[in-house]
Structure 1
């Protein structure tokens, strides 16, 4: 290619880099703003957009998630947009590094999720089941979170109703949570065994497997964008040496 064509290609890619990262920056700002809004005034948010959850604590968790994602997108968008605009090798390399770290973390998380599902179930059982026995029915916030989860996901405990054996709730109410009996009361061992409501861990896994195609497509799309962003930033970085 002639020097003019190379310069035109460089300019085009630079402009695309700026616009792409400007969109990311604005998206991050929007998510950050919504997250702060939900955190500060969750009730008005629910009134406008409907009841997302009956648990205020879950709304707070959503707020933290939005704030975290928004902040990350803001940083990425700023580094990419400003770095390309100012043709700063330092900012472009920082952009490349941040996206690479996120990409590696996503790949690692996917591998762990696929390979160590059984191990995760074992670890969760060892950690969560004792908490269920101790806190469910005794701790209001903990109980509320589990009630919402079991109702929305249509599950019971982590593995099944036996997670509540010898628990505070069972000793106090002489039965199991009604979600373990498909919302029937009283919920005793006979009814719970007949209903055979699945544990939340298996239920969530089934939901994930059911939507694996969509989730995989979204993940592949995000990965492709990240790879493209890294390639473009490295192209601009290398071309700056030739200018």
Structure 2
């Protein structure tokens, strides 16, 4: 290719890099804003989007997830957009490094989830159960999310009713949440005897079933994200190398 054609190709890729990362930056800002909204006023968010939320999203603390993802996208978008605009090798290399680290982390998580399923389940249980014990009944938004999940999915806790043993809720009420006894409108307390008799399944099994049901969609989305990350790394490295020739 002639020098003019090479320069035109460089300019085109640079512009696409700027636009792509600008979109990422704006998306990150949006997610960050929504995450803060959920954290500050989670009830209004649930009122609007509650019926659209899946049980998977309801179990985790959505606000923190959105804030973290939004912040990461903001950083990536800024590095890619500003680095391409300023033709800064330092920022482009930082962009490449951040995306590479995220890509490696995603691959590692996928391998652990697929190969070491039992380990992944144990880790999730070890993380979520203590939070459930501490926050259920204390944090209004957290409690509402879990109540919605347990009512809609017909489950109790993450594993079963024993997740609420020695919990803030149990210490305050001396009983388990009514979902653990399949009570709907009853005012009867859900005692340990009734909970053991009903033996309502934990929400974790329901979540796993939902994940398995939508494994194809999740895999497709993951593959698409991985392809975008590889393309972003390739483009950033192309711009980085071409700057030496300018």
Q: Over the residues paired in the alignment, what is the CA RMSD in angstroms?
A: 3.7
Distance 2:195 2:151 in 1: 15
- 1:93–1:237 Cα contact (<8 Å) kept: yes
Q: Find the counterpart in structure 2 of residue 159 from structure 1.
A: 159
1:140 aligns with 2:138: yes
User: What is the deviation of 1:115?
Assistant: 2.3
Q: Unaligned stretches of 5+ in structure 2?
A: none
TM-score normalised to structure 2 length: 0.76
Q: Find the counterpart in structure 1 of residue 5 from structure 2.
A: 5
1:26 aligns with 2:16: no
User: What is the deviation of 1:131?
Assistant: 7.9
User: What is the deviation of 1:207?
Assistant: 1.0
User: What is the deviation of 1:195?
Assistant: 5.8
Q: Unaligned stretches of 5+ in structure 1?
A: none
Distance 1:123 1:101 in 2: 22
User: What is the deviation of 1:109?
Assistant: 1.2
Deviations 1:170-201 (A, max 9, x none): 9934xx54323433555678876776532222
- Farther off after superposition, 159-168 or 97-106: 159-168
Distance 2:60 2:155 in 1: 23
- Farther off after superposition, 32-41 or 7-16: 32-41
1:206 aligns with 2:209: yes
Q: Find the counterpart in structure 1 of residue 239 from structure 2.
A: 236
For this pair of structures, how many residues does the alignment match? 234
Distance 1:31 1:79 in 2: 18
- Farther off after superposition, 211-220 or 145-154: 145-154
Distance 2:203 2:44 in 1: 30
User: What is the deviation of 1:11?
Assistant: 1.4
Say if 1:199 and 1:17 are closer, same or farther in 2 by CA, change over 3 A. same
Residue 174 of structure 2 aligns to a residue whose secondary structure is helix
Residue 140 of structure 1 aligns to a residue whose secondary structure is coil
Distance 2:40 2:18 in 1: 32
**Rg: which structure is higher?**
1
Distance 2:233 2:127 in 1: 39
Distance 2:122 2:231 in 1: 38
User: What is the deviation of 1:129?
Assistant: 6.4
Distance 1:203 1:104 in 2: 29
Distance 2:65 2:77 in 1: 18
- 1:38–1:60 Cα contact (<8 Å) kept: no
User: What is the deviation of 1:237?
Assistant: 0.6
- 2:181–2:195 Cα contact (<8 Å) kept: yes
TM-score normalised to structure 1 length: 0.77
- 2:154–2:179 Cα contact (<8 Å) kept: yes
Pick aligned residue for 2:222 from 194, 219, 227: 219
